[in-house]
């Protein structure tokens, strides 16, 4: 059974959706970016329905300033109260004795940073976000990976010769590669890896290999020992929207649960 639940958070009213089931381990889904709780292509709503059918209660919610929730959108780094309030509302509405949480992109980073204080016992983190910028370009590691592919592909050189490549975007990418990482970027990555050290083996990391955000995470994590289990999928879809991705995601979440 699916029902709506409203709950308080820092003087605002948030709205969540509960897919009820009899299991004692519940999954809290935290949306990334400015996505509403249904997720890209309704992916999180569909995932919740499939998990509930397998006996796992699932709760999704809109944080402050997003979708059906009131307040101001302060971004993922301000979402600690939202996650804690959602976890409490979820626990109060079900028989779940153990909470696991899943998030994609900056929601994964938010869960790593704030999930423990919300009483969450295990986290499943997809394509964690380690870079904050607003230049409209992919992370530098993803740009390097893309250019490496282009160097190996004769067709890419042919496209360049025929004018099929956006030279302005290409120049922007090259400029980005020439710059050192911004201090804020390094600080965010350091915070994330410090949090992951706390979670240890209680964290599972899911990466879509061809996704720019996942590439940036792997690049940042190269010199960091991680106890978390890392699972990879041959997909370029950040939201696991390609054929077969949803099944893979469901299987990995069920295994972590």
| pLDDT by residue, tens only, the chain of 257 residues | 899 999 999 999 999 999 999 999 999 999 999 999 999 999 999 999 999 999 999 999 999 999 999 999 999 999 999 999 999 999 999 989 999 999 999 999 999 999 999 999 999 999 999 986 655 555 565 555 554 554 555 565 455 556 555 546 545 544 544 554 444 447 999 999 999 999 999 999 999 999 999 999 999 999 899 999 999 999 999 999 999 999 999 999 999 99
Q: Report yes or no on whether pTM surpasses 0.75.
A: yes
At residue 182, the pLDDT reads: 47
Q: Where are the domains of the chain?
A: 2-133+183-256, 140-177
Q: What is the pLDDT of residue 133?
A: 66
CB-based contacts of 138, cutoff 8 Å, min separation 6: 146, 173, 212, 216
Task: Find the helix or strand (DSSP H, E) in which 193 lies.
Answer: helix 183-199
Q: What is the pLDDT of residue 246?
A: 97
Q: Regarding the domain delimited by 2-133+183-256, which CATH topology (the fold level of the hierarchy) does it fall under? A: Rossmann fold (3.40.50)
Distance separating alpha carbons of residues 87 and 120, to the nearest angstrom: 8
Who contacts 71 (Cβ-Cβ below 8 Å, separation ≥6)?
Answer: 9, 10, 11, 12, 14, 64, 65
Residue 110 pLDDT: 98
Q: What is the pLDDT of residue 135?
A: 53
């Amino acid at each position: 059974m699916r029902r709506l639940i409203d709950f308080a958070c820092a003087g605002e009213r948030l709205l969540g959706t509960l897919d009820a089931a009899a299991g004692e381990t519940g999954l809290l889904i935290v949306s990334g970016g400015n996505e509403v709780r249904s997720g890209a292509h309704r992916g999180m709503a569909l995932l919740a329905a499939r998990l509930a059918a397998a006996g796992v209660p699932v709760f999704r919610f809109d944080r402050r300033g997003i979708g059906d929730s009131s307040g101001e959108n302060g971004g993922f780094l301000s979402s600690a109260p939202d996650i804690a309030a959602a976890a409490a509302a979820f626990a109060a509405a079900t028989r779940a004795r153990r909470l696991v949480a899943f998030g994609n992109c900056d929601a994964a980073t938010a869960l790593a940073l704030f999930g423990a204080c919300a009483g969450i016992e295990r986290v499943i983190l997809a394509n964690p976000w380690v870079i904050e910028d607003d230049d409209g370009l992919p992370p530098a590691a993803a740009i390097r990976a893309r250019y490496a592919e282009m160097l190996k592909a004769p067709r890419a050189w042919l496209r360049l010769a025929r004018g099929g490549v956006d030279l302005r975007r290409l120049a922007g990418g090259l400029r980005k590669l020439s710059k050192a990482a911004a201090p804020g970027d390094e600080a965010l990555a350091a915070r994330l890896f410090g949090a992951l050290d706390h979670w240890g083996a209680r964290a599972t990391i899911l990466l879509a290999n061809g996704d720019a955000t996942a590439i940036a995470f792997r690049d940042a994590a190269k010199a960091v020992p991680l106890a978390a289990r890392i699972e990879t999928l041959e997909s370029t879809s950040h939201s696991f929207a390609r054929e077969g991705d949803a099944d893979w995601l469901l299987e990995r979440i069920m295994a972590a649960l």
